[in-house]
A and B are shown apart, each in its own frame.
Chain A
Amino acid sequence: MDTYLLQIFNGISVSSIFMLAALGLAITFGLMKIINMAHGEFIMIGAYAAYVIQNIFSQYLPASIFDFYFFIAIPASFLAAGIFGWVLERLVICHLYGRALDSILATWGVSLILQQLARSIFGAPNVDVKSPDWLNGALLIHPGLQLPYKRLFIMLMVIICMTAIYYLMYRSNYGRKIRAVMQNRAMAASLGINTRKIDAYTFAFGSGLAGIAGCALTLLGSIGPTLGTNYIVDTFMVVVLGGVGSLWGTIAGGFLIGTGNTTLEFLTDATLGKVLIFTLVIIFLQWRPKGLFTINSRSLDE
């Protein structure tokens, strides 16, 4: 019984990681329609930002406050990835709107550059980020059923991020402008919205979210220059399955892929589990090519 309960928890936990990694993509790919192959590298940048903050704390600050570094690391990861995202948008992507294949190639090239950059700065071997003490250990429900604090914390981060995105997108003036630009760029521009500025900030925001995901991933494994490439396929799957452009779709997609993946892995093995879940996703997309949640739009070019 414990085994199955723990397995359900594992499923939700993996889902939460997929959701966190895919939230940024839901904005840059889902809303802005940019196929950004360097999304994984923003995750990697966020992870290295957490590593840098950890090092600053352990070297320059008293040991007693080391445990709180993570609260600085989260915004630092967001900012670092966001700044890289902003620069990428200004330098490369803003010239490539509407040129899907070109932007795939360009962003993929950027991802290789960023990986090599990380390798040059931090060295080829993976580095370990020490988790704060209060995240070590597990919530003991009863012996045999322990829920690691780290995984619970990641779930909490997902909830906070999603709430923040919801308010930003649907309850703030800025969100209204973003949605206006994404729905009808020409009309939004003629109403006086600075679309270039909106594009840059939105892309930076999406990239920043990827940075937060990277910060969370430091709790689970080591970090290296290729950290992001492991997640790129999964995160695109989540967004496509959920329905491009829908935040709820991303949540649902993350949940289905995460729980489906762990359940199938439990019943078969890791490799076959992944094969089966992707096969199911492909079959589902044959049936509903637009994913779980579709957005009805009056836009003529839909």
Chain B
Amino acid sequence: MNMGLFAKMRKSASLAMTALFISSVFLSGCGNSQTSQSSGSSTDSKSTIKVGVLHSLSGTMAISEVSVKDAEMMAIDEINAKGGVLGKKLEVVTEDGASDPAVFAEKAKKLLQQDKVATVFGCWTSASRKAVLPVFESNNGLLWYPVQYEGMESSPNIFYTGAAPNQQIVPAVDWLLKNKGKKFFLIGSDYVFPRTANKIIKAELNAEGGQVVGEEYTPMGHTDYSTIINKIKEEKPDVVFNTLNGDSNVAFFKQLKDAGITSKDLITCSVSIAEEEVRGIGAENMTGQLVSWNYYQTTNTPENKTFVANYKARYGQDRVTDDPIEAAYDAVYLWAAAVEKAGSTDVDKVKEAAKGLEFKAPEGTVKIEGENQHLWKTVRIGEVQADGSIKEIWSTPDPVRPDPYLKTYDWAKGLSN
């Protein structure tokens, strides 16, 4: 035992602080050290088309993104089983974004420049999408982004198959104002999506006679909501509009129930909780609470019955499908259809062919809006059931036109910059 060094260790206070600092810097960059798996490396480029799949397979976002990747792989395999695209099989290059925007950007560059993939399916958080956006634009690549998001974006190199705010948040607020009350309490994780979403909600409430009685943000991974629940109790809102992401939701709903508050006392409406998340939260903790999406596992279409059955047969009966999973599945089919129509995988030709393209998706027919490369989608408000499924209680009669910048709403002027 070296006593001199041991002595140095005793001045541990400052050392521990240094250690914490080092670790917090490195934790965010730890994805660099993770090995990424690239499945298949066939050299015969003539008989296959390379496509990239870029999701977080490790880190905090792996929770959500792994199942989305699974849906994309299923769609790709289904297409291959039917003979592929343009008579060529699809060859997948999988990369791990490791829940870190910087890694996402690096891997996107690798997929486009080194692997020369025809298109990429990927990303979940807005932070990762914002990080890869310049890479796709400067390399003229093509990204299919499968998750609902805060809008205010329309890159010529991205197709957005999740909901724009006017297909999820805006109609949900509208419905809640009419059916549940005027006093809103906003709670969200502290990053770009919840903050932008709440900016939109506040503008809408302001214009339509609602009132915000509280607005709280918690860091990602926050797990103690006793103080915020206390604040909610004090303000007595009609509705809690929840944009928390990830694990925080579990802590929030469990602790809400422990504080003696159920959906009978206080209604919450969440836009980042789907069937997959309900499973983690525990259905008993949020029975009767509301969510807003475009698709549920229970959505009643023939396409969905096949989709759910195939997904469960492939990945296990205990797995569930949800909105981002479905949107990711649609993305693969939409791209394949656009390539068939264009007769080429050339990005500009595919984009041109994709305009107005329709697909009979599990959620019903979706259509690509040529102007902003988002999808026409049906909005559905659902109620969480005791068995963890979500029952649709309201929907728009027809698919809603995507409006990422909310140009058709007077109150939204000035929000987009």
Residues of chain A touching chain B, judged by Cβ–Cβ distance below 8 Å, are 3, 6-7, 10, 13-14, 17, 29, 33, 35, 37, 97-100, 104, 108, 112, 116, 119, 124-128, 130, 136-138, 144, 146, 148-151, 185-186, 217, 220-222, 224, 226, 229-230, 232-233, 236, 239-240, 244, 262, 265-266, 269-271, 274, 285, 289-291, 301-302
Enumerate chain A residues within 8 angstroms of B254, measured Cβ to Cβ. 220-222
Q: Is B17 an interface residue (CB 8 A)?
A: yes
CA distance A148 to B226 in the complex (A): 10
CA distance A166 to B99 in the complex (A): 42
CB distance from B235 to the nearest CB of A (A): 10
Tally A-B pairs: CB < 8 A: 174
CB distance from B24 to the nearest CB of A (A): 7
Inter-subunit contact B13/A289 (CB<8 Å): yes
Inter-subunit contact A146/B260 (CB<8 Å): yes
Contact (A33, B259) CB under 8 Å given A98-B6, A126-B250: no
The answer, among B59, B226, B231, for a CB contact under 8 Å with A13, is: B226
Besides the known contacts A226-B60, A270-B217, 4 further A-B residue pairs in the complex with CB atoms under 8 A apart: A3-B230, A3-B234, A33-B10, A301-B6
Contact (A124, B63) CB under 8 Å given A3-B233, A138-B259, A270-B217: yes
Q: Which residue of B lies closest to A150 (CB)?
A: B258
CA distance A35 to B57 in the complex (A): 29
Contact (A29, B16) CB under 8 Å given A220-B223, A220-B224: yes
Contact (A37, B230) CB under 8 Å given A98-B2, A270-B218: no
Enumerate chain A residues within 8 angstroms of B217, measured Cβ to Cβ. 269-271
CB distance from A1 to the nearest CB of B (A): 11
Inter-subunit contact B62/A124 (CB<8 Å): yes
CA distance A269 to B250 in the complex (A): 20
CA distance A146 to B262 in the complex (A): 14
Chain B 58-103 interface residues, beta-carbon cutoff 8 Å to A: 58-60, 62-63, 66-67
Q: Which residue of A lies closest to B3 (CB)?
A: A301
CA distance A13 to B9 in the complex (A): 32
The answer, among A33, A221, A232, for a CB contact under 8 Å with B247, is: A221
Inter-subunit contact B282/A128 (CB<8 Å): yes
Enumerate chain B residues within 8 angstroms of A35, measured Cβ to Cβ. 12, 15-16, 19
Enumerate chain A residues within 8 angstroms of B224, measured Cβ to Cβ. 14, 17, 220, 262
Enumerate chain A residues within 8 angstroms of B259, measured Cβ to Cβ. 138, 146, 148
Q: What are 10 residue pairs bridging A and B, where the CB atoms are less than 8 Å apart in the complex?
A: A124-B66, A217-B223, A220-B224, A222-B254, A226-B59, A233-B24, A244-B10, A262-B224, A265-B227, A270-B218
Question: Which secondary structure characterizes the binding site on chain B?
Answer: helix
Contact (A289, B230) CB under 8 Å given A186-B1, A270-B218: no
Enumerate chain A residues within 8 angstroms of B258, measured Cβ to Cβ. 136-138, 148-151
The answer, among A98, A185, A224, A271, for a CB contact under 8 Å with B63, is: A224
Chain B 7-58 interface residues, beta-carbon cutoff 8 Å to A: 7-10, 12-17, 19-20, 22-24, 26-27, 30, 33, 57-58
Enumerate chain A residues within 8 angstroms of B393, measured Cβ to Cβ. none
Identify the interface centre among B67, B217, B258: most chain A CB within 10 Å of its CB: B258
Q: Which of B121-129, B134-142, B273-281 contacts A (4 or more CB under 8 A)?
A: B273-281
Chain B 333-381 interface residues, beta-carbon cutoff 8 Å to A: none
Enumerate chain B residues within 8 angstroms of A108, measured Cβ to Cβ. 23, 26
Inter-subunit contact A100/B13 (CB<8 Å): no
Q: Which residue of B lies closest to A140 (CB)?
A: B260
Q: Is B251 an interface residue (CB 8 A)?
A: yes
CB distance from B117 to the nearest CB of A (A): 24
Enumerate chain B residues within 8 angstroms of A151, measured Cβ to Cβ. 226, 258
Inter-subunit contact B62/A232 (CB<8 Å): no
Inter-subunit contact A112/B30 (CB<8 Å): yes
Enumerate chain A residues within 8 angstroms of B247, measured Cβ to Cβ. 126, 221-222, 224
